[in-house]
Amino acid sequence: MLWPRFTKGALMVFRRDFLSWVKYYRSSVLLNFGEPLTNLLALGFGLGAYVTKMSGDPFVDFIGPGLLAVTAMNAVTFDMSFEAYDRLNENGLYLSMITAPLHPAEIVGGEYLWEACRSLLYGLVFLVVLLPLGIVHSWWALLLPLPLLVTGMLFAGPALWVATTAKNHEQLFYYFTLVITPMFMFSGVFFPLTHLPPIIRDFILLTPLVHVVNLTRALILGQFPATLWQDVLWIVGYTLLFMVLPGRRLARRLMD
């Protein structure tokens, strides 16, 4: 357990990530939008022609807000797994940072700040895609930046922990295959959890993405279920819990 440090040094790590992103944003935006956009169009309008209503909403309205949450999660997870793995193991970026007077906890802090912004950025652009499709039904959507920022931090921690633990790129794929993809499929993005067997539903409620999906859907559709406060609590709790995961490990990898 090592808390990230949000210092001036962390801000410079953030700055470095931003400078690097500016160079690559064209290809990286395409990578992060291609998939959810395809899902939205193919499933929302293709499958949506047959599945007209989902929990009382048009199918595309139902999956749009969920895909927004997924977009934010993926944007962060890709960066903090593959990119962070390379920064640690391939191009020595983290090592050169700690030879300058930065502490590993400041590196983690800087990466979290950047991932929060990344999540915000990619989430908002996806929101802009949803607007002309008539999926955004509520002014509450203006509050989305807040959950998006938190979501970035939430998913950055576990991914960075995986990056500091993995021995090669293949092991990073396991994280996607075993964790990210199942979460994507079963977190109420495509169908509500109400008809699942209770034991499976309870298990899903222990994972983080479902709560983010519930929250983004509530804000975009303007429908607030009575249990929404629980989702908020889960999100905040997981964010704090995951935040301390990678620091110690990164420190050990860099300063054995």
Residues that bind another protein (CB under 8 A): 8-9, 12-13, 15-16, 19-20, 23-24, 91-93, 95-104, 254-256
Residues 6 or more apart whose Cβ sits within 8 Å of residue 225: 214, 218
**Least Å from the CB of residue 138 to another protein:** 39
Q: Which is nearer to another protein, 87 or 211 (CB)?
A: 87
**Least Å from the CB of residue 100 to another protein:** 4
**Least Å from the CB of residue 208 to another protein:** 29
**Least Å from the CB of residue 66 to another protein:** 32
Which residues lie across from 54 on neighbouring strands?
Answer: 57
Q: Which is nearer to another protein, 219 or 254 (CB)?
A: 254
107 in Cβ contact with 7 (< 8 Å): no
Q: Which is nearer to another protein, 7 or 165 (CB)?
A: 7
Which two tokens mark 40?
A: 């939205």
Which two tokens mark 180?
A: 């990210």
The sign of the dihedral angle between the CA atoms of 87, 88, 89, 92 is positive
Phi-psi category of residue 116: left, alpha or beta, with phi > 0 → left and psi -120 to 50 → alpha:
alpha
**Least Å from the CB of residue 240 to another protein:** 24
Rounded CA gap, 49 and 62, in Å?
Answer: 13
Q: Which is nearer to another protein, 8 or 167 (CB)?
A: 8
Distances (CA, A) of 134 to 35, 58, 140: 20, 11, 15
- In the three-class reduction of DSSP (H, G, I as helix; E, B as strand; rest coil), residue 191 is classed as coil
**Least Å from the CB of residue 93 to another protein:** 6
Q: What is the four-CA torsion angle of 199, 203, 209, 214, rounded to 10 degrees?
A: 40
What is the chain's percent helix, strand, coil content, to nearest 5?
Answer: 80, 0, 20
Q: Which is nearer to another protein, 15 or 169 (CB)?
A: 15
**Least Å from the CB of residue 140 to another protein:** 37
Q: Which is nearer to another protein, 26 or 195 (CB)?
A: 26
Q: Which is nearer to another protein, 82 or 234 (CB)?
A: 82
80 in Cβ contact with 175 (< 8 Å): no
